[in-house]
């Protein structure tokens, strides 16, 4: 008579990553709030963790994309998948820009500030302005091509990594049977990199503690003042976008946005603690595959979305730009706002999921609005770290939804399977 194996004991609550990250965030806020000097000294913990994660992103993306595309065997499928992803990105990211534009015009959080740009410190935005000057369409397209094959692995530029990964995958497909051993080797290497990533992520609570301690210790809650209106408006708009817009897209694709959010709670808390959506990128790829998304789809859609589907950054750009115009008493016509919207549709594609990229892209786009001085960005410097949290979270949520939608379009996973796996994976 075979004895039934006893059920494995439930993991203690304190062993869950999301619980540990929450504890790290709370402790960081307390230390930064009550002991600002100690909080500022914690910066290396947050920076070190982000560096550890970024160290692994380029090789993981390279291996995932190469294996995913080369495994297709059909270049026609690659073209179809890429077209669907880019079509989705353009529609939803443009919708995010429009929503930000409408909300800031209705709520008008900048009214009454009456700030004279001449009284602002222009040096506060010098570094952002210098970086913004290089953000134009030609430069962006040329920067996709790396100087050497290994350069993207050194700099961590996701689009460059994606570019050489696609070329390598196409070369392996052209090799036919000879490419089989190479493809299997890349798959094994990817498993090793993901193994390293699992080790690195164990330090996430420490990284979140350091990052939040530095943020609160450096800026404090006193730095918000009247800028709180913009922050609340932005956070409310982002939540509305996730629940209503992405929620409707998810419902149409056969799954619940709330079940999806519970499923990726570890990644959301990781982003909350570090203010960077890149820290959750490897985990998102694996979780999408657990839901039934093909390797090729997860490996192509998510990394591409980090440059082409930044919903949170898009909402922030339109809201922040018009907020600055309102705060400096500059009246913009509907035509000027539409001109800004068209330019933002291009410049927003150059931002990546790293901290501060949204601010740099805003500086580049702001230059297209007549009369709004770039020095006015100094108004937002003090709260940008707090805004970065919401941008990164919204970007991450949007890219995951995009991946599931494209996967459903490709017929990779059924509605029943997706709902069942979301429900199973959301359980603690």
**Mean pLDDT, the chain cut into blocks of 10 residues (428 residues total):** 52 73 84 86 84 81 78 68 86 90 87 66 51 57 82 79 84 82 86 84 84 75 64 90 95 93 90 78 88 86 81 87 84 80 68 52 67 70 72 91 93 89 67
Question: Under a CB-based contact definition with an 8 Å cutoff, are residues 419 and 259 in contact?
Answer: yes
CA-CA distance, 113 to 116, in Å (whole number)? 9
Please give the pLDDT value at position 321: 85
CA-CA distance, 92 to 416, in Å (whole number)? 25
Q: Which two tokens stand for residue 382?
A: 């003090």
Q: Which residues lie below 8 Å from residue 79, measured CB to CB, with a gap of 6+? A: none
Exposed/middle/buried for residue 306 (C-beta within 10 Å: 0-12, 13-18, 19+): buried
Please give the pLDDT value at position 121: 52
List the domains of the chain with CATH numbers: 14-426 (1.10.3860.10)
CA-CA distance, 326 to 363, in Å (whole number)? 16
Please give the pLDDT value at position 205: 84
């Amino acid at each position: 008579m075979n004895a039934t194996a006893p059920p494995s004991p439930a993991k203690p609550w304190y062993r869950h990553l999301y619980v540990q990250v929450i504890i790290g965030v709370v402790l960081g806020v307390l230390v930064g709030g009550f002991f600002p000097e100690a909080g500022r000294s914690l910066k290396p913990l947050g920076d070190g963790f982000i560096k550890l994660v970024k160290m692994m992103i380029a090789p993981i993306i390279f291996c995932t994309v190469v294996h995913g595309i080369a495994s297709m065997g059909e270049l026609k499928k690659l073209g179809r998948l890429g077209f669907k992803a880019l079509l989705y990105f353009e529609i939803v990211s443009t919708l995010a820009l429009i929503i930000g534009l409408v909300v800031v015009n209705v709520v008008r959080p900048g009214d009454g500030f009456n700030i004279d740009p001449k009284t602002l410190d222009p040096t506060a935005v010098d570094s952002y302005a210098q970086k913004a000057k290089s953000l134009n369409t030609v430069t962006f397209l040329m920067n996709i091509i790396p100087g050497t094959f290994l350069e993207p692995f050194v700099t961590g530029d996701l689009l460059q990594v994606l570019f050489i990964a696609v070329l390598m995958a196409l070369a392996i497909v052209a090799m036919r049977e000879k490419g089989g051993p190479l493809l299997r080797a890349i798959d094994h290497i990817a498993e090793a990199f993901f193994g390293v990533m699992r080790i690195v992520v164990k330090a996430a609570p420490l990284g979140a503690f350091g990052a939040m301690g530095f943020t609160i210790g450096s800026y404090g809650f006193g730095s918000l003042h009247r800028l709180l209106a913009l922050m609340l408006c932005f956070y409310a708009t982002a939540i509305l976008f996730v629940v209503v817009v992405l929620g409707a897209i998810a419902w149409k694709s056969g799954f619940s946005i709330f079940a999806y959010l519970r499923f990726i709670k570890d990644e959301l808390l990781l982003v909350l603690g570090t203010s960077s959506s890149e820290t959750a990128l490897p985990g998102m790829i694996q979780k999408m595959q657990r839901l039934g998304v093909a390797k090729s789809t997860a490996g192509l859609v998510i990394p591409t979305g980090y440059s082409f589907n930044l919903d949170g950054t898009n909402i922030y750009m339109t809201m922040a730009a018009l907020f600055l115009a309102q705060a400096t008493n500059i009246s913009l016509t509907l035509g000027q706002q539409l001109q800004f919207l068209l330019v933002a549709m291009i410049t927003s594609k150059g931002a990546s999921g790293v901290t501060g990229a949204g601010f740099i892209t805003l500086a580049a786009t702001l230059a297209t609005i007549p009369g709004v001085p770039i020095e006015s960005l100094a108004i937002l410097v003090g709260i940008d770290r707090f805004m970065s949290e919401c941008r990164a979270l919204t970007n991450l949520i949007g890219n995951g939804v995009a991946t599931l939608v494209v996967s459903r379009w490709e017929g990779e996973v059924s509605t029943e399977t997706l709902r069942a796996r979301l429900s199973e994976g959301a359980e603690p």
